[in-house]
Structure 1
Amino acid sequence: MPGWLRKRDALNEKRVKIKNPFAWEQNGCFGCGPSNAAGLRLTFEESDTHLHAAWNPIPEYQGYINVIHGGIIATLLDETGAWCINVKVGTAAVTSVMTVRYLKPAYISKGVVTIDAELKSRDQKSAKLYCRLFDGDGKLCSEADIEYFLYPEEIARKRYFYPGREAFYYE
């Protein structure tokens, strides 16, 4: 078994489905808003070390024929990273630096892509994450190093309606 597949399989540890506490009708978030008809409507799961998402690409999100648009890939990586901050760090954040490496095309015809985000480091004001996108065959297509500016939880609650870490879990 190739090393990349062993690494990916290692991420298939026990997962917990994450609740979207932002799922009200007015939430038009392109990444996670369930009522945004043009959006990605991502849902998430958590494992011990990562946050995970799966997304089924459609032709409306292609660049070249049958290839997921690079901007959509960047959005998938960034959104999964931001949700990792919400769940693992316990606050809201905004992207300050993002470096994406496109390693190979992610083909729409290969079906559901998976994205994972891992918190690598954090201090009081920022967090650094490593995010990856795998195609439907489980091959690594893109990766990103992303740094987020962290808001203090009190400001995140007031300004961004951050509901607190506990709101992301089902009872």
Structure 2
Amino acid sequence: MEKMPGSRGCFVCGSPEENRRSLGVEIYWNEEENRTEITIRPDITWCGYDGVVHGGIIASVFDDAMAWAVRKTIDSWAVTGEISVRYLRPVREGKEYVVEGRVGRLSGRKITTAARMADDSGKTVAEATALFIRIPGGGS
């Protein structure tokens, strides 16, 4: 798997050394499966309620998983136009989860995507879909 370089100032994938507020998430591209893969183990700083990860953080991780899937699929950047997240089970501090992001359909500048978060037993705890819009000129 190929490790994505991250974006310096990014809240999700930025380097904690350069951006102390970043979650420091590492994103990988699985060429064989055409998807991004992110393994996370949230700590207390990710929580809203005691021991339960804040939904906005989950949405942010999904957004990055899908954005990097778009980047690898179309070799260009796109911005999030719309995102929808379904929270199925609580995401808990200290437990390991895997997030996968993939591109569904391309239609002109519009790109539909999907993401899934699973616990260590493979059970889906949250899922998302999004519409990304390709940046004119590639935004490289």
Q: Please give the TM-score of this superposition, normalised by the length of structure 2.
A: 0.89
SS of equivalent residue, structure 1 residue 85: helix
Cα distance change on mapping 1:136 and 1:59 into 2, 3 Å: farther
1:21 and 1:146 map into 2 onto residues whose CA distance is 20
Within the alignment, does 1:33 sit opposite 2:14 as a pair?
Answer: yes
- Most deviating of 126-135 and 33-42: 33-42
Q: 1:50 to 1:155 in 2, by over 3 A?
A: closer
Q: Deviations over 1:51-78 (max 9, x none)?
A: 1111221101101111111000000101
SS in 2 for 1:108: coil
Match of 1:74 in 2: 59
Structure 2: gaps of 5 or more residues: none
Which residue number in structure 2 is paired with residue 108 of structure 1?
93
- Percentage of pairs with the same residue: 26
Question: Which structure: larger Rg?
Answer: 1
Instruction: Give the strand-richer structure, 1 or 2.
Output: 2
- Structure 1 window deviating more from structure 2 (29-38 vs 40-49): it is 40-49
CA change 1:81–1:58 in 2 (3 A) is same
**CA shift in 2, pair 1:21/1:59, >3 Å:** closer
The one-letter amino acid paired with 1:84 is: A
Q: Secondary structure at the match of 1:142?
A: strand
Question: 1:37 offset after TM fit, Å?
Answer: 1.6
The 5-angstrom pairing of residues 1-171 of structure 1 reads 16-20=1-5, 22=7, 27-34=8-15, 35-47=18-30, 48=32, 49-110=34-95, 112-152=96-136, 154-156=137-139, 162=140
Higher relative helix content:
1
Separation in 2, partners of 1:119, 1:100: 16
TM-score with structure 1 setting the length: 0.74
Q: How many residues align?
A: 136
